[in-house]
Amino acid sequence: MSKEARKLPKDAYGGIRGEDYKPFIRNDEKAPESTVYSIILGILFAVVFAAANTYLGLKVGLTISAGIPGAILATGVFKSIFRRNNILESNYVASLAAVGESIAGGIIFVLPALILIGFNLPLWTVVVVTVIGGIMGVYFIVPVRKHLIVQEHGKLVYPEAMAQAEVLVNANQGGKGFGAVLKGVIVGLGYKIISGGLALWNETATYVIKPFQNAMIGTDTLASLVGVGFIIGTKTSSLMFAGSIVAWLGLIPLIKFFGASVGIPIFPSTMLISEMPATDIWSNYIKYIGAGAVAAGGFISLARSLPTIFKSFKEAMGGFGKGEKTLDRTNQDPSIVWVLFLQYSSLSSLQ
């Protein structure tokens, strides 16, 4: 690799066919990728980011990027501890870290719904389902990879992945993003110690809005939420804030107003609405409205993606059993026979 600093080419964002795109590291360039270093560090980051995203997801209802901080941390660890500066190893670690984010998404968006409808899920069941679901997810993407990544080059932007690529290239060429991450960790830890450990101020505060019946508004000054807000940006944060306003200053007072005259409990609550404070109305009704909105968004996204998924599977099945082999580093997939066998085995183990 040339010592002169390089940038990610503009073609990475589109303007060229995926088949013609030349990656930052050429396909014929030999460099270590799946090494002992990258595998162990990647698994460690995947566990850490899965735990962090599961906590945040259950707390605020969304996950944050793991690939981007994973890329920064991987490059920093490789440079400072192992004295290695290989972008492919760092990319491998960042990709494994992103798997932790995906697994957390599966946990927080699926398993709580099963618990809400009455399923008893022991810890061991959660672990087994999560592991098998992760394996199925990895092999499920194989038939659609070429279509979604290569043929849709420039059409599907993948903003998180592109940000991860920019971070890796910048760090590989001498950037200092690792220091910024360490500063963020130190500041966040200090804030948590002062606010939570020393309890110099309350991390949560609730205010009653008297002009509205049973309306409340509150704040959470948790360091983790400040970090989430910084990462997801103003637009997404504003949408979440707007949803909270609608729920606490709109839906809860309306439910209280119209439900107060009902003389019997309304499912799923066993209490009369007239006896409920705002927090109980949220627990018994609002959180189900939120869960329904999340489910509706998932079904809408799935419906929009079905044509692409069907086309990808059709193309993959068209090459069934051909066993095409290539030395192209960026175009190697397992045989569709193995994919179907492992999917079948995973489904069988769940029964």
Q: What digits encode the pLDDT tens for the residues 13-61?
A: 888 888 888 888 887 777 888 899 999 999 999 999 998 888 888 877 7
Q: What is the 3-state secondary structure (H, E, C) of 116-160?
A: HCCCCCCHHHHHHHHHHHHHHHHHHCHHHHHHHHHHCECCECCHH
Q: What is the pLDDT of residue 318?
A: 64
User: Cα 214–219–223 angle (5° rounding)?
Assistant: 155
Locate the domains of the chain by residue range: 204-276
Q: What digits encode the pLDDT tens for the residues 103-129?
A: 888 888 788 878 877 788 888 888 888
Q: Under 8 Å CB-to-CB from 146, ≥6 apart: which residues?
A: 312, 315, 316, 331, 333
Percentage of residues of the chain with pLDDT beyond 90: 6
Q: What digits encode the pLDDT tens for the residues 146-184?
A: 777 887 888 877 878 888 888 888 877 766 666 766 777
Confidence class of residue 1 from pLDDT cuts 50, 70 and 90? Answer: very low
